[in-house]
């Protein structure tokens, strides 16, 4: 049986993550308060941000930006999209 959390993104009880997805306090907050479903949404957002800013995940600059964006995505009002982002066209 999956571990359940009250997801901050969806406001209801959903299956939680199996382990903290990020180091430190932020990773623990995400582990305690974010569902698997919300994390999947974040992963898509993260790919978009990395691509738009042309960053590599192992770069210190990328990691700092991801931590800031994660904090905003899960615990802030809403994450800001990169200024030059153009959403993909619907098929």
**β-strand partners of 14:** 5
- Identify whether 90 is part of a domain: no
* Residue ranges making up the domain that contains 42: 4-75
Q: Supply φ then ψ for residue 8, to 5 degrees.
A: -70, -25
Q: Tell me how many domains the chain contains.
A: 1
Structural domain contains residue 59: yes
Question: Looking at residue 2, what is its pLDDT?
Answer: 82
In a domain, 41, yes or no: yes
Is this model's pTM higher than 0.75 or not?
Answer: yes
Q: Extract the tokens encoding 40.
A: 């999947």
Q: What is the C-alpha to C-alpha distance for residues 40 and 8, in angstroms, rounded to an integer?
A: 14
Let me know if residue 10 belongs to a domain: yes
Instruction: List the chain residues with pLDDT less than 70.
Output: 1, 78-91
CATH code, domain with 16: 1.10.3880.10
**What's residue 48's pLDDT?**
92
Query: At 6, phi and psi to the nearest 5?
Result: -85, 100
pLDDT tens-digit readout, 51-65: 998 999 898 989 999
């Amino acid at each position: 049986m999956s571990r359940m959390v009250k997801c901050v993104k969806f406001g209801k009880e959903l299956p939680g993550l199996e382990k903290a997805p990020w180091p430190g306090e932020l990773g623990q907050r995400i582990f305690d308060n974010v569902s698997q479903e919300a994390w999947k949404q974040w992963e898509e957002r993260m790919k978009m941000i990395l691509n738009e800013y042309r960053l590599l995940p192992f770069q210190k600059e990328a990691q700092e930006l991801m931590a800031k964006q994660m904090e905003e995505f899960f615990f802030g009002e809403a994450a800001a999209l990169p200024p030059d982002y153009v959403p993909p066209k619907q098929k």
